[in-house]
Amino acid sequence: MTDELDGADGMGGANGTDEPADGRDGRDGRDSVAEEGVAEEGRSPEAARRVPRRAVVITAVAAIAAVAAAALLLVVLVPSWLRQSTSGNEAGPSKNPAGPSPVSSFGRQIGQPLTGHHGSVHAVALGRLGDRPIAVTGGKDRTARVWDLTTHEQLGRPLTGHKGQVVTVALGQLGDRPIAVTGGDDRTARVWDLTTHEQLGRPLTGHTKGITELAVGRLGDRAVAVTASWDGTVRIWDLATREQLGRPLEHESGILSVAVDRLGDRPIAVTGQDNGLVLVWDLTTRKQLGQPLTAYAETAGAVAIGRLDDRPVALTGGLSCIAHVLDLTTREELGQPLSHEYEGMGAVAIGELDGRPIAITECGDVRVWDLTTHQQLGEPLTDPSGKTVDALAVAIGRLDDQPIAVTADSADVRIWSLSDPPAPSPGNSVHHSE
């Protein structure tokens, strides 16, 4: 193994076919985890209360399906190499000073939700397929779906094969082939050709409990996937051969989140555990680097990696609904935490907006933050009816050369404008340690 983790290549290739399909498999969207005998075992009610809301939804749905069956007889720190620039045009001054000020489009929903999944949508990733900006989503109905973000239409048939909920998805490139990698609570990850919508080879198997999150990138000259699981391991996979590379990264408890990047020339993974610890790992030596990056009182359910003033940083979120920005080189926290009033942070993402680094966090509502000042940009996202939305997954990208966010929740996938951002409120600036 070489010691270089490169950014994934940009998306390419032809678009998928546009034949319609509803993705039903004759089970009315019921979760198959209990039916397949792979429901999460050995977790106490106290432990279940500690997991973030996304994990609670996934686990609870599996339990409900098992009870129903007995009576009748549940995903942000995009890996930085897939992070897309989200710079947009600044809102200019009003051409009519005497008239009303122009209304900012920041935080407004774009068009109608993307509909097609049957049940909750747990995962979303953004990229390009040829000239099309796309989203790939995964959900409770055991499918992943590919969407044209311009037309809001599903491209081709669903990606089917998982025997449980699809809880995580990432995009990458395998040679000239644009791919998606999906992970499910059926304990497998699967690789898909986004041009043909066909599964490539056999599933990635080895986890003994459900996969919770995955990331993709390059390790030397290999395209790899890194998977995290309730079984307390992180595993690295060669996407060309579908073989596991080396031994797993062993943890003390179930792992809820993983993100990968480089720290200097060293390929790393950052993992968040059910016991609240956030750890940094060298992917070449498979060894933990130093002490835990941070420790939450309960769970560490969301992790993303990005850049702040050319510094590699991690954004971590926990059940307490507090997100921390941490310098991966010095291990010091930067500035004040990003806080919500609710409980159970489900998703985080890092991106860029008009040249400024931003974060999106979800905890009962969805908020956008300026990472330089740690101040919130605008109000929490609301749908056209004025209702505050929540999310199980978030992503940042571009549409028609404008910055956007995409959220997935228990009912819908929505696209949001991030154009014309308001100025952050004055407040504490990030402290930069020397």
What the block records as the tokens of 133 is: 């900006």
pLDDT bucket at 346, cuts 50 / 70 / 90: confident
Would you call 57 helix, strand, or coil by DSSP?
A: helix
Percentage of the chain modeled with pLDDT above 90:
63
- What are the pLDDT digits (tens) for 231-245? 999 999 999 999 999
The verdict on residue 239 lying in a domain is: yes
**Partner residues linked to 125 by β-bridges:** 136
CATH number of the domain at 130, please. Answer: 2.130.10.10
CA atoms of 431 and 434, how far apart (whole Å): 10
What the block records as the tokens of 427 is: 């407040």
User: How deeply is 304 buried, as exposed, middle or buried, from its count of CB atoms within 10 A (0-12, 13-18, 19+)?
Assistant: buried
Strand residues in 83-232 grouped as ranges (E): 121-129, 132-139, 143-148, 153-154, 159-160, 166-174, 177-184, 189-193, 198-199, 211-219, 222-229
What value does the mean pLDDT take over residues 162-180?
A: 97
pLDDT bucket at 130, cuts 50 / 70 / 90: very high
CA atoms of 434 and 331, how far apart (whole Å): 12
Please give the residue range of the domain that contains residue 250. 5-417
Would you call 236 helix, strand, or coil by DSSP?
A: strand
Mean pLDDT is lowest, of 10-24, 106-120, 339-353, for: 10-24
pLDDT at residue number 309: 87
Top-ranked range on mean pLDDT: pick from 102-116, 136-150, 337-351: 136-150
CA atoms of 331 and 329, how far apart (whole Å): 6
- Please tell me the total count of domains within the chain: 1
What value does the mean pLDDT take over residues 99-117?
A: 82
Show the DSSP H helices in 133-262 as ranges. none
pLDDT bucket at 156, cuts 50 / 70 / 90: very high
What value does the mean pLDDT take over residues 324-328?
A: 94
What value does the mean pLDDT take over residues 335-349?
A: 86
Show the DSSP H helices in 39-180 as ranges. 45-50, 53-72
Residue 38 has pLDDT above 60, yes or no: no
The verdict on residue 359 lying in a domain is: yes
**Partner residues linked to 103 by β-bridges:** none
The verdict on residue 351 lying in a domain is: yes
DSSP 345: -
pLDDT bucket at 251, cuts 50 / 70 / 90: very high
For residues 363 and 63, which has the higher predicted lDDT (pLDDT)?
363
**CB neighbour burial string for 124-149, b if at least 16 within 10 angstroms, e if fewer:** bbbbbbeebbbbbbbbbbbbbbbbbb
The verdict on residue 426 lying in a domain is: no
Place of tokens 């990003």: 338
pLDDT at residue number 300: 80
CA atoms of 266 and 274, how far apart (whole Å): 26
pLDDT at residue number 255: 96
What value does the mean pLDDT take over residues 278-301?
A: 88
The verdict on residue 428 lying in a domain is: no
The verdict on residue 434 lying in a domain is: no
Residue 434 has pLDDT above 60, yes or no: no
Query: What are the residues whose beta carbons fall under 8 Å from the beta carbon of 434, sequence distance 6 or more?
Result: none
pLDDT at residue number 367: 96
pLDDT at residue number 5: 54
DSSP 291: S
Residue 408 has pLDDT above 50, yes or no: yes
pLDDT at residue number 54: 52
CA atoms of 149 and 133, how far apart (whole Å): 6
pLDDT at residue number 52: 52
pLDDT at residue number 89: 32
What value does the mean pLDDT take over residues 11-19?
A: 36
Top-ranked range on mean pLDDT: pick from 57-71, 151-165, 261-275, 418-432: 151-165
- Tell me the pLDDT of the chain averaged across its residues: 80
The verdict on residue 425 lying in a domain is: no
User: How deeply is 265 buried, as exposed, middle or buried, from its count of CB atoms within 10 A (0-12, 13-18, 19+)?
Assistant: exposed
The verdict on residue 236 lying in a domain is: yes
CA atoms of 343 and 362, how far apart (whole Å): 10
Amino acid at 383: D
Residue 88 has pLDDT above 70, yes or no: no
- What are the pLDDT digits (tens) for 307-320? 998 899 999 998 88
Place of tokens 């049940």: 119
What value does the mean pLDDT take over residues 84-100?
A: 37
Query: Cα–Cα–Cα angle for 203, 226, 199, nearest 5°?
Result: 25
What the block records as the tokens of 353 is: 């907006």
* Sign of the alpha-carbon torsion through 297, 299, 300, 302: negative
